Amino acid sequence: MTFRSLLLLAGSFSVTIALPSSAQFISQQPDGPQMSDETRACIDCHEAFQPGIVGDWKESRHAESSPALALERTVVERRVSSDSIPANLKNVVVGCYECHSQNAGSHKDNFDHFGYRINVVVTPNDCKTCHAVEANQYALGKKAHAVDNLEKNPVFHLLVEQTIGRLDVKKDKLAHSKPSASTENSTCFACHGTKVEVIGTKQLSTDQGDIEIPVLSNWPNHGVGRINPDGSRGACTACHPRHSFSIETARKPYTCAQCHLQPDVPAWDVYAESKHGNIMMSKESDYDWNAVPWIPGKHLRAPSCATCHNSLLTSNDNTVLVDRTHDFGARLWVRLFGLPYATAQPKSGATHTIKNKEGQPLPVTFGGEPAKSYLIDEKEQSTRRKTMTAVCRTCHGTDLVNNHFANLDTAVTESNKMTATTTALMSAAWKAKQADPSNPFDEYLEREWVESWLFYANSIRYAAAMSGPDYATFKYGWWELTKRIREMNEKKGKR
Amino acid sequence: MTFRSLLLLAGSFSVTIALPSSAQFISQQPDGPQMSDETRACIDCHEAFQPGIVGDWKESRHAESSPALALERTVVERRVSSDSIPANLKNVVVGCYECHSQNAGSHKDNFDHFGYRINVVVTPNDCKTCHAVEANQYALGKKAHAVDNLEKNPVFHLLVEQTIGRLDVKKDKLAHSKPSASTENSTCFACHGTKVEVIGTKQLSTDQGDIEIPVLSNWPNHGVGRINPDGSRGACTACHPRHSFSIETARKPYTCAQCHLQPDVPAWDVYAESKHGNIMMSKESDYDWNAVPWIPGKHLRAPSCATCHNSLLTSNDNTVLVDRTHDFGARLWVRLFGLPYATAQPKSGATHTIKNKEGQPLPVTFGGEPAKSYLIDEKEQSTRRKTMTAVCRTCHGTDLVNNHFANLDTAVTESNKMTATTTALMSAAWKAKQADPSNPFDEYLEREWVESWLFYANSIRYAAAMSGPDYATFKYGWWELTKRIREMNEKKGKR
Amino acid sequence: MTFRSLLLLAGSFSVTIALPSSAQFISQQPDGPQMSDETRACIDCHEAFQPGIVGDWKESRHAESSPALALERTVVERRVSSDSIPANLKNVVVGCYECHSQNAGSHKDNFDHFGYRINVVVTPNDCKTCHAVEANQYALGKKAHAVDNLEKNPVFHLLVEQTIGRLDVKKDKLAHSKPSASTENSTCFACHGTKVEVIGTKQLSTDQGDIEIPVLSNWPNHGVGRINPDGSRGACTACHPRHSFSIETARKPYTCAQCHLQPDVPAWDVYAESKHGNIMMSKESDYDWNAVPWIPGKHLRAPSCATCHNSLLTSNDNTVLVDRTHDFGARLWVRLFGLPYATAQPKSGATHTIKNKEGQPLPVTFGGEPAKSYLIDEKEQSTRRKTMTAVCRTCHGTDLVNNHFANLDTAVTESNKMTATTTALMSAAWKAKQADPSNPFDEYLEREWVESWLFYANSIRYAAAMSGPDYATFKYGWWELTKRIREMNEKKGKR
């Protein structure tokens, strides 16, 4: 039994281990690229202790190819975008050590692990060694700034505090406490990302003996805007989960559905009940989810999230129809969610830097006036709409696509007007001292108002954008919104 | 690059194009039926511009078979039901032109497209050329009348207006506007169907140059009751999505789940958590979803929606157990949803023609009395129950099935009684002037009452019919309904 | 046609039938184990009448193997756990008759069926003939006692009555009726199990003629705690549905999702939006769902419910990492759901026998004090936590797992404190006569209070345990809970 064959030798934080070679489990092609010696050492141990992740990796493209082989492909077929890749990495498979030893100098989480210098966390800056274009694109978008966009924006910061802070009854009064770090990490920041810092070292008791490891704050986390111990932002593993780093997984909507979910961001829910979702779920096993480039009609039928929002699409003869992007807002002109009013996309992914006319860090004022200088202009909006239209046109005629987006325009206009209505009712209540505007997110009525835009108006837009009619009618959307407005209106003066 | 090889020549609405033959992409069997010349011309262009739909079609049965070949099969194996098929269609595959040129005379959306007369919309009347039995059955059911059943029924029309109409605050008062056509099309009528009419022509700028096309109102749409430019009703593509027209997709529950969803029509939600759904989702890839006839135990394990509601089922020796139907209510005796009280199925799919004793276009009065002359009689109810029992009996014993339907009977009776309770509470509020009955769907309390039957009583019946116990207990159903009744009762006299 | 070839001969409850042999449908391996003569007789008839279940069985392992063959395997590969299996069963496949004739003496539902003595219901005690270890483990857990835990616990019994009892308006007053048996069976007891007793015999009209069969109360049912006509408890078919009894189905989360669903037990909902769920749904078709033992990294990627909660997991060399259990609480130390306060797991699965300090049949008092003598002690809690950690460690490092469970500890503590808050507000309302504590589950405010723990606090814990952050933030959980507390607090003194 492998566990038992460990020889644990004393030492402050080093343990010498003797394990039978697990080479028999490694399915490397004899004439393909091989593992580095360091990776083989990792595998030799971890295959016994963590067969799951080793198995994941062994089935991955990383385990069967090398950067040098990857670069032999034509540009549209290539999954590696860096021009120059260090010589020591080029001809071995992309194994444990290749990733976990990258840029050790900038990694505060680097530590000695049985004689090897290892980073606990692999970051976008490490992946960048081979995937530079993707890492650079990602860094521009809202996802990479998802932590600051919550924490440094006082409006959203307050919303977080009110949503997940503890409430106790003390002397017959309700007392609010700021959220614990643990709860923040299990809720909002699980998706947005946590700040992972090295805050010390500790002895860890394991079946292999005591080892000394860095203590990481707010870990584990794979949120899209994670702030890493090397100072970089993001987690490629949010969508390409370790240790298969699969393009298939990232392209399937189940991945996006971890965070983009009802009631606040119902992308998955709307997709699942759209015709696109219907076809994809019916034909899922007929797709080639791993092909690069991805050819509509050949590798896929109806699109998944990735098809429309970031994949490289070509025609049968490899003519590029739409370029790949890892800035997930790059094909979008209007920002649908998370805000009272939908408006143009921001110029910078760091949305917390926006200041509107009333001085709030929001792209529109309370009355609905956009902070234009922070938002993309009409020309850029038009360019992006054309890019997205090019995606649609791989299956649909131009007229149909135009009509579809005209419906979206109406949904944006009408849902914004409905938010103006609920906001007018909320303002009237504040004015009449039926609620206290000093904190706009704590009272019950204020929560009802937040739902009117964060859940309902938002859902109406999503359902129009991605054709989930039932969702916007009865699930969340129109039914709930018009009912809520009736309720707020009828309650006027009655509190 | 194919796009670039276009030679756009001037002309009011004609463009001459030169494209390399795309014959290499066509996987036609050399000794099978071939494409018509017209279809080849369509493909030559559209394969470059819309590879998605061309790819869909190429993988379809339409692309590999011909009506003549289809008719060589035995009756139970046949997917074509028309007795005589025009000679010019018989021996070619069913391609773009074969469908988009059908019955041009009655198609107001017919237009000249690079020298070919093309209909934009393919309708049930066109599919009928080969699938006459299905088209005729479909025309009888509620789906084919789904537009009128909303629009011409003043009760439902009012409900639509209140649900999706805009609400603005004007001079401190709430002002209601009728829904925009765009919002109607993105919500209720996306499923029910829109009225697609030719309202003019326009020049469309495309990458292939300017072309003149018909302007269609309320397009795109694939709702089940769509009123088409040829006057026909319905959209076969609601369930057999273009351009694969797949029987597999139509048989999978994801298709029905586009419209039959919580909270108002929770067919998918109940199925997904039933034992049937559990088995189907676990064994989905083992099914033969394309087989005709469909043999329980051989091609499928637990049923999908189609199995019980419309598929032809036979035993191993092709003995017919249950006949195919495309009138989706044909195996149902009781109507569970969309109404305060469940009652017998209507005789005609055009339910807006019903008039109950109180003169309302509803199959029951406000007090629960059925409009018997418009509803199927007990003999017909019994016949249909026997048909559905025959479906159940392909797996279950008679006693078990009888007990199951006895539980459904109770659920119908009890949920109807619960609706009587909420309606009594609502009536008391109207009487006490706590709400205004002139419009029964606008006030908050009225909305709560609507939910009591449209969502909760309805869900209880669905969950009993299809065995989704958890759904009816806590999700929507009993918990919500008894809580709502308590609330309505406690609020009495307090508004 | 097979149906028509039946010759129905008169007889009080016996019918002699003549059917062509259906041997052509049976795919038995010629050199493998064969069907018993009795099973062949069953199949000969039922294949024509119920092709679905016969087909299910024919594809099952039961149809292709025999107990004797099963016992030839090594212990970790074995699916049969009984030491000695009766000689008459050992060398035939496990067919209809083998199961439906077991322990006939104790089966009150045993009856004469065309000359064979058949039990209607196959019970855990029957499966125990070959699967003794599993049956014995199952009998210890909460599932096996799920009926009594609802019925014999007066608190839960009252909750059931209030949730699914009918409410009528009689003389302007609301009148509550106890739930009908039919509604109980279609809701709570569908999952928990019903009491299936023989209450008589009856003539049943079938296509094969009239037969006499036992009348079973509360049938059909496959709830986890079903009380069977032989006195045993449980239904193996709750998870291994008849008649394939598939380990694949039981291992897939769709099975658990029949009962463990939002809003009260959101195990499936949280899993589906976790990283584990994301990977499983993306890679589902790459798993080997039938392998025994189950090897992480080889047969599966991310875990399903079964992986963590009951499967036998080994490393590549068949070293046992975690033992199999069919007591589904055996790896759990803290009980998350169904109760106001999360607390240690109970010692006995018969939780209705618990008595806390205040005399209630609950593991904690109203104030949150645990009934320690009925609950597992800290040592046992620690042992179970280590077992679950061993599961996690098949993929994750020890430090990461410890941090994960520390977050769960916080979620339990904080959600319990939040329940203390809502309970304090409820108590204040009772004290102020704004609600009547004599029945704590009937009034509207009481229902709101129940939701605060049964739905929201509970969901927070589930989401922390299984990493479904979005669920706990906005779906059910923190948002709803803090909003509800605000509402309850603001309503104080206003009712």
Inform me whether the pLDDT recorded for B22 exceeds 60.
no
Give the HSE-up count for residue A399: Cα atoms under 13 Å, Cβ half-sphere.
18
Residue A285: predicted pLDDT:
96
Q: Is A315 exposed, middle or buried (0-12, 13-18, 19+ CB in 10 A)?
A: buried
Chain B contact set for A316 (CB, 8 A): 22, 25, 47, 51
pLDDT > 90 fraction of chain C, expressed in percent and rounded: 89
Residue B209: predicted pLDDT:
79
Q: Say which amino acid occupies C308.
A: C
Neighbours of A342 (CB within 10 A): 25
Chain C contact set for B269 (CB, 8 A): none
Q: Give the residue from B461, B478, B481 with the most C CB atoms within 10 Å of its CB, the best one to mutate.
A: B478
Distance to chain A for C30, nearest Cα, Å = 34
Question: Are A147 and A233 within 8 A, CB to CB?
Answer: yes
Residue C83: predicted pLDDT:
87
* Choice between A14 and A80, residue whose per-residue pLDDT is larger: A80
Is the Cβ pair B406, C182 closer than 8 Å? yes
Average pLDDT rounded to a whole number, residues A95-123: 97
pLDDT > 70 fraction of chain A, expressed in percent and rounded: 94
Q: Say which amino acid occupies A277.
A: G
Cα gap C314→C296, rounded to integer Å? 7
Residue C208: predicted pLDDT:
73
* Choice between B26 and B469, residue whose per-residue pLDDT is larger: B469
Residue C205: predicted pLDDT:
82
Q: Say which amino acid occupies A262.
A: Q
Residue B495: predicted pLDDT:
54
Residue C366: predicted pLDDT:
87
Cα gap B42→B97, rounded to integer Å? 7
Non-local (6+) Cβ contacts of C152 within 8 A are C352
Please state which of the ranges B203-212, B361-370, B461-470, C54-63 shows the lowest mean pLDDT: B203-212
Chain C contact set for A53 (CB, 8 A): 297, 395-396
pLDDT band at B492 (very low <50, low <70, confident <90, very high): confident
Cα gap C161→C180, rounded to integer Å? 10
| pLDDT tens digits for range A128-153 | 999 999 999 999 999 999 999 999 99
Average pLDDT rounded to a whole number, residues C203-232: 93
Burial annotation A70-99 (CB, 10 A radius, 16+ → b, else e):
bbeeeeeeeebbbeebeeebbebbbbbbbb
Inform me whether the pLDDT recorded for B381 exceeds 70.
yes
Average pLDDT rounded to a whole number, residues A265-276: 98
Non-local (6+) Cβ contacts of A278 within 8 A are A302, B241, B249, B254, B255, B257, B258
Cα gap C441→C427, rounded to integer Å? 13
DSSP one-letter string for B82-145:
-S---HHHHTB---HHHHHTTTGGG-TTEEEETTEEEESS--HHHHTTT-HHHHHHHHHSTGGG
H-state helical runs in C234-320: 247-251, 253-256, 267-272, 275-283, 305-309
Strand, helix or coil for residue B28: coil
Residue A14: predicted pLDDT:
33
Is the Cβ pair C282, A442 closer than 8 Å? no
Q: What are phi and psi of C445, to 5 degrees?
A: -60, -40
Q: Is B413 exposed, middle or buried (0-12, 13-18, 19+ CB in 10 A)?
A: middle
pLDDT band at B21 (very low <50, low <70, confident <90, very high): very low
- Integer-rounded Cα Rg, in Å, for chain A is 25
Q: What are phi and psi of C310, to 5 degrees?
A: -155, -10
Average pLDDT rounded to a whole number, residues C400-421: 98
DSSP C293: S
Inform me whether the pLDDT recorded for A493 exceeds 80.
no
Rounded to 10 deg, the angle between the A444-451 and C478-491 helix axes is: 140
Inform me whether the pLDDT recorded for B123 exceeds 70.
yes
Q: Is B10 exposed, middle or buried (0-12, 13-18, 19+ CB in 10 A)?
A: exposed
Q: Give the residue from A322, A395, A487 with the most B CB atoms within 10 Å of its CB, the best one to mutate.
A: A395
Strand, helix or coil for residue C35: coil
Inform me whether the pLDDT recorded for A372 exceeds 80.
yes
Give the closest of B282, B302, B424 to C248, CB-based. B282
Cα gap B117→B119, rounded to integer Å? 7
Give the closest of B48, B169, B205 to A315, CB-based. B48
Cα gap A255→B347, rounded to integer Å? 47
The residue to which tokens 């992972």 are assigned: A196
Q: What are phi and psi of A263, to 5 degrees?
A: -90, -10
Give the HSE-up count for residue C110: Cα atoms under 13 Å, Cβ half-sphere.
16
Chain C contact set for A441 (CB, 8 A): none
Structure tokens at B332: 């149902």
Distance to chain C for A74, nearest Cα, Å = 28
Give the closest of C296, C418, C464 to A55, CB-based. C296
% helix, strand, coil for chain C, step of 5? 45, 10, 45
Distance to chain A for B462, nearest Cα, Å = 17
Neighbours of A132 (CB within 10 A): 16
Question: Are B301 and B389 within 8 A, CB to CB?
Answer: no
Distance to chain A for C285, nearest Cα, Å = 8
| pLDDT tens digits for range B339-380 | 999 999 999 999 999 999 999 999 999 888 999 999 999 999
Inform me whether the pLDDT recorded for A3 exceeds 60.
no
| pLDDT tens digits for range A49-63 | 899 999 999 999 999
Task: Tell me, rounded to whole angstroms, the distance of Cα A147 from its chain centroid.
Answer: 11
Give the closest of A167, A180, A219 to C418, CB-based. A167
Per-residue HEC secondary structure of C434-456 comes to: CCCCCCCCCCHHHHHHHHHHHHH
Burial annotation C357-380 (CB, 10 A radius, 16+ → b, else e):
eeebbbbbbbeeebbeebbbeeee
Q: What are phi and psi of C459, to 5 degrees?
A: -65, -35
Residue B29: predicted pLDDT:
67
| pLDDT tens digits for range A230-257 | 999 999 999 999 999 999 999 999 999 9
Q: Say which amino acid occupies A413.
A: T
CA distances (Å), B381 to each of A49, B330, B343, B377, B486, in order? 63, 10, 11, 6, 35
Chain C contact set for A52 (CB, 8 A): 296-297, 301, 394-395
Q: What are phi and psi of B351, to 5 degrees?
A: -70, -15
Tell me the pTM: 0.94
Distance to chain C for A19, nearest Cα, Å = 13
Cα gap B274→B282, rounded to integer Å? 12
Inform me whether the pLDDT recorded for B17 exceeds 70.
no
DSSP one-letter string for C110-147:
EEEETTEEEESS--HHHHTTT-HHHHHHHHHSTGGGHH
User: What mean pLDDT is reported for chain B?
Assistant: 93
Is the Cβ pair A55, C298 closer than 8 Å? yes
Distance to chain C for A55, nearest Cα, Å = 4
Inform me whether the pLDDT recorded for C76 exceeds 60.
yes
Question: Are B243 and B53 within 8 A, CB to CB?
Answer: yes
Rounded to 10 deg, the angle between the A37-49 and A51-58 helix axes is: 130
Is the Cβ pair B414, C56 closer than 8 Å? no
Q: Which residue of B has its CA nearest to C455?
A: B474
Chain A contact set for C469 (CB, 8 A): 186-188, 190-191, 259
pLDDT band at A6 (very low <50, low <70, confident <90, very high): very low
Chain B contact set for C183 (CB, 8 A): 410-411, 414, 478
Average pLDDT rounded to a whole number, residues C361-390: 96
Is the Cβ pair B277, C254 closer than 8 Å? yes
CA distances (Å), A272 to each of A102, A367, B232, B247, C39, in order? 39, 34, 29, 20, 44
pLDDT band at B18 (very low <50, low <70, confident <90, very high): very low
Non-local (6+) Cβ contacts of B74 within 8 A are B318
Give the closest of C55, C162, C185 to B482, CB-based. C162
Q: Give the residue from B161, B167, B247, B337 with the most A CB atoms within 10 Å of its CB, the best one to mutate.
A: B167
Chain C contact set for B410 (CB, 8 A): 180, 182-183, 186
Inform me whether the pLDDT recorded for C12 exceeds 60.
no
User: What mean pLDDT is reported for chain A?
Assistant: 93
Region of residue C370 (left: phi > 0; alpha: psi -120 to 50; beta: else): beta
Of the candidates B466, B185, B18, B315, the residue with the CA atom closest to the CA atom of residue C22: B315
CA distances (Å), B273 to each of B468, C163, C186, C394, in order? 6, 20, 13, 30
* Choice between C17 and B291, residue whose per-residue pLDDT is larger: B291
Chain A contact set for C272 (CB, 8 A): 257
Cα gap B20→B34, rounded to integer Å? 19
Average pLDDT rounded to a whole number, residues B145-164: 97
Residue A495: predicted pLDDT:
53
Q: Which residue of C has its CA nearest to A187?
A: C469
Cα gap A125→A127, rounded to integer Å? 6
Q: Give the residue from A270, A307, A486 with the most B CB atoms within 10 Å of its CB, the best one to mutate.
A: A486
DSSP C86: -
Task: Tell me, rounded to whole angstroms, the distance of Cα A491 from its chain centroid.
Answer: 39
| pLDDT tens digits for range A86-104 | 999 999 999 999 999 999 9
Cα gap B271→B254, rounded to integer Å? 11
| pLDDT tens digits for range B281-306 | 999 999 999 999 999 999 999 999 99
Give the closest of A319, A398, A463 to B186, CB-based. A463
Question: Are C308 and C388 within 8 A, CB to CB?
Answer: yes
Cα gap B333→C120, rounded to integer Å? 29
| pLDDT tens digits for range C41-68 | 999 999 988 999 999 999 999 999 999 9
Is the Cβ pair A297, B53 closer than 8 Å? yes
Inform me whether the pLDDT recorded for A25 exceeds 80.
no
The residue to which tokens 């399915």 are assigned: A27
CA distances (Å), C361 to each of B241, C150, C156, C364, C366, in order? 55, 11, 9, 9, 11
Contacting subunits of C (3+ beta carbon pairs below 8 A):
A, B
Question: Are B293 and B76 within 8 A, CB to CB?
Answer: yes
Of the candidates B197, B193, B19, B38, the residue with the CA atom closest to the CA atom of residue B107: B197
Contacting subunits of B (3+ beta carbon pairs below 8 A):
A, C
Consecutive H or E run containing A237 = none
Inform me whether the pLDDT recorded for A9 exceeds 50.
no
In this structure, the strands spanning B110-113 and B116-119 are antiparallel
Residue C209: predicted pLDDT:
79
Q: What are phi and psi of C123, to 5 degrees?
A: -120, 165
Is the Cβ pair B54, A297 closer than 8 Å? yes
Distance to chain A for B1, nearest Cα, Å = 6
